[in-house]
Amino acid sequence: MTLPLSPAERRTCAAFVITFALTIITWACAHDLYLIHVEPRHFTEYHRPLLPITDLRLLALQYATVATLGPGMVFGALAFSASRLGSRSPHTLRFAWLAFLPFIALIETSALLVGKIAAGRHALEQSPLYPEALYPDTTAGIAYSQSVNITAYLAAAAFGGLYLLTLLLLRKQTDYTSARSQSS
């Protein structure tokens, strides 16, 4: 099946897919490189082994890439669709990518804040933030790392959807502003 796009738009779509996938993988690598040093067991004991890697940094990079390559590509296609398809004024890849960066910062900030709250709750011997069944054990490191990861996944879905909606609304606003200035 071929998308009903011109060859130029197919190249633009591919650029969106690659750019967003690489951006999301880069964010996930930084996220996992941080987490693996906070709680290595999160990756060494509680993830299914993929390759026989023992170096913690390489292990973090492996899991981050495997976890986000496919979703990053799908998200790039969705960003392309929200930015370019339809009759509204299209966004450039540069605009869409720059608009995405604050959303990644919000995702990571919310995940780390929830991790801090989870660590505080653990120190006070309170229950975890999320249902206990989602935690492979109740040690401080796992309470923190698992809370961070669960929040990152939830925030990625929520803020990712908000980002796509923002792209659509900005396209509508651009068309509205353009139509108004032409009628003046």
> Is residue 1 in a domain?
no
pLDDT at 87: 83
SS3 track for 111-133: HHHHHHHHHHHHHCCCCCCCCHH
Q: Dihedral, CA atoms, 173, 175, 176, 177, nearest 10 degrees?
A: 80
> Is residue 102 in a domain?
yes
Residue 181 has pLDDT above 60, yes or no: no
Model pTM greater than 0.85? yes
Distance between CA atoms of 74 and 68, rounded to whole angstroms? 10
> Is residue 93 in a domain?
yes
Classify residue 134 by its DSSP letter.
Answer: G
pLDDT more than 70, % of the chain: 92
Residue 177 has pLDDT above 60, yes or no: no
Distance of CA 86 to the CA centre of its chain: 25
The string of pLDDT tens digits covering residues 114-129 is: 999 999 999 999 999 9
> Is residue 171 in a domain?
yes
pLDDT at 139: 93
The string of pLDDT tens digits covering residues 76-118 is: 999 999 999 888 889 999 999 999 999 999 999 999 999 999 9
Domains identified in the chain, total number: 1
> Is residue 2 in a domain?
no
- Least Cα distance to 67 among 98, 31, 101, 102 occurs for 31
Q: Dihedral, CA atoms, 173, 175, 178, 181, nearest 10 degrees?
A: -70
The string of pLDDT tens digits covering residues 1-44 is: 566 888 899 999 999 999 999 999 999 999 999 999 999 999 99
133 is in which domain, residue-wise?
Answer: 7-183
